[in-house]
Amino acid sequence: MSTLLSFRDVWVEYGDRIIIEKLNLDIEEGAFVSIVGPSGAGKSSFLRLILGQEGPSRGVITLDGTALAPECGPDRGVVFQRYSVFPHLTVLRNTVFGLECAKAPVLGRLFGRTRHAAEAEATEMLNAVGLGHSLDLYPAQMSGGMQQRLAIAQALVKRPRVLLLDEPFGALDPGIRADMHALIRRLWREYSLTIVMVTHDIREAFTLGTRVLALDKRRHDPHAPHRYGATVVYDLPMRARPEELSETSDDITIDVIRNN
């Protein structure tokens, strides 16, 4: 497997406040990376770096060996915990809209044959996430789980190189969550995705991830908490592949535990 994303001596600082420090990390193509860590450790900031919503204050991030573009492009898809879908658009229009933005960035609309092709692609993706029978529904007519399925279709229809998940299942009931775990695992396999997922749920991190990264501060100065930032303090490759683990399984095994 080749390296898809690479971080070299990456820092995130707001004024004199250090959030992430000296981050050195390679993410392989096809990996499912779970990010855990205490509140405020910089997990969302880390995702924003990959998304291009903000640049590092120092260091370099590359995607496929090329410096990451400073704006969010179709090579990176994202699903947030809530509010990713447009309430005034149907399921199909929500999904086609992602393609319109990628393929017709100026007009934001596709016409004729390209529009038909986009609708066919969107319908295929909606079938893949289990919304094939809900194309004409509006988000307000759907459950939270269905809305997250739509958000995943919206992100995946652009065929991103990397899919970013920011607490995507955090607002869902446990039963629906288990269904969504099975769905994302299937999509990860079928579409050969590379996924980076932030979660507060340790079991979810270990159940889904092929690798679990813990972000935290290595050093702490109680008199000046802003002086030190977080970095990867644990990097845990999982021995079992996610498809071999059941939701209720307790036999999670870890290959190596190493402190960077």
Ligand X SMILES: Nc1ncnc2c1ncn2[C@@H]1O[C@H](COP(=O)(O)OP(=O)(O)OP(=O)(O)O)[C@@H](O)[C@H]1O
- Binding stretches for ligand X (CB under 6 A): 14, 19, 37, 39-45
Residue 118 or 215 with smaller CB distance to ligand X: 215
CB 214, min distance to ligand X, A: 11
- Long-range (24+ apart) CB contacts under 8 A made by 198-201 are 198/34, 198/35, 198/36, 198/43, 198/44, 198/46, 198/47, 198/165, 198/166, 198/167, 199/34, 199/35, 199/36, 199/165, 199/167, 199/169, 199/170, 200/36, 200/39, 200/167, 200/170, 201/169, 201/170
CB 19, min distance to ligand X, A: 4
Residue 81 CA to residue 152 CA, distance in Å, equals: 11
Residue 39 or 259 with smaller CB distance to ligand X: 39
Coil vs helix vs strand at 104: coil
Residue 37 or 98 with smaller CB distance to ligand X: 37
CB 166, min distance to ligand X, A: 8
Residue 43 or 158 with smaller CB distance to ligand X: 43
Give the single-character DSSP code of 177: H
CB 39, min distance to ligand X, A: 3
Residue 92 or 205 with smaller CB distance to ligand X: 205
CB 25, min distance to ligand X, A: 16
